Amino acid sequence: SQTIHQWPATLVQPVGSPLSLECTVEGTSNPNLYWYRQAAGRGLQLLFYSVGIGQISSEVPQNLSASRPQDRQFILSSKKLLLSDSGFYLCAWTRDGSAEAFFGQGTRLTVV
Amino acid sequence: QKEVEQDPGPLSVPEGAIVSLNCTYSNSAFQYFMWYRQYSRKGPELLMYTYSSGNKEDGRFTAQVDKSSKYISLFIRDSQPSDSATYLCAMRKWEGGKLIFGQGTELSVKP
């Protein structure tokens, strides 16, 4: 069966510090991978998506970046966090020809 | 213009009421139409999906798609307090590419 792992679950970081969130998928190959951010009481804002290794599409200009070093690994990074980067970050994957998206449990990031 | 628009609510209804949730979209290339339910501090869970115009029923839930109007709906019959959550519509193309969500509607069903 397919599973998706996302960590850490909670993170408190000072302004200006770096960030690295990791997401891995098991049980499938060549998934489409996504990073979303959700502010309190708001919908899911698509940040990045990837249809293959090294292929990253950015949806929102910001100080975040994403990388896909392996087929089933998706990393969200920042060199210097801003207060506005606080939020709930979700990783997800889909498969071509299938509707369902599978989500990780999310990372709640607080920048202080 | 956002690709997907959804009224954020909040929406409060009494137990047993029929709930209607709606989204509009602008990209005619979307092929999959989905509804997700999200409880606080959790990842979204898929409720229903469809890829054609018309109705799809699953228990107390009915998903409706009108591609000509670019409009989708989710109906919840005999709503229960356990249905209280945020409901998000989502859309994507057939292959690869973006999976876009609406803003989510916060629903509260009062006993």
Contact status, residue B60 vs residue B49, Cβ threshold 8 Å = no
Residue of B28, B4, B12, B16 lying closest to B78 (CA atoms): B16
Question: Residue A70 burial by CB count (10 A; 0-12/13-18/19+): exposed, middle or buried?
Answer: exposed
pLDDT at B97: 67
User: In this complex, is the C-beta atom of B104 within 8 Å of any C-beta atom belonging to chain A?
Assistant: yes
The CA distances from residue B55 to A29, B61, B62, B68, in Å, are 32, 10, 7, 14
pLDDT at B56: 93
pLDDT of residue A99 exceeding 80, the answer is no
**Inter-chain residue contact A32 with B96, CB threshold 8 Å:** yes
Question: pLDDT tens per residue, chain B (111 residues)?
Answer: 688 999 888 999 999 999 999 999 998 888 889 999 999 878 889 999 888 888 999 999 999 999 999 999 999 999 999 999 999 999 987 776 688 999 999 999 999
More confident residue, B61 or A99: B61
More confident residue, B29 or A80: A80
* SS3 state of residue B21: strand
Sign of CA dihedral A47, B108, B2, A96: positive
pLDDT at B96: 65
**Inter-chain residue contact B106 with A34, CB threshold 8 Å:** no
**Euclidean distance between CA atoms B81 and A100, whole angstroms:** 26
- The minimal CB distance from B43 to the residues A57, A100, A105 is found for A105
**Euclidean distance between CA atoms A21 and A13, whole angstroms:** 12
**Euclidean distance between CA atoms A76 and A73, whole angstroms:** 10
pLDDT in tens, A31-48: 999 999 998 767 889 999
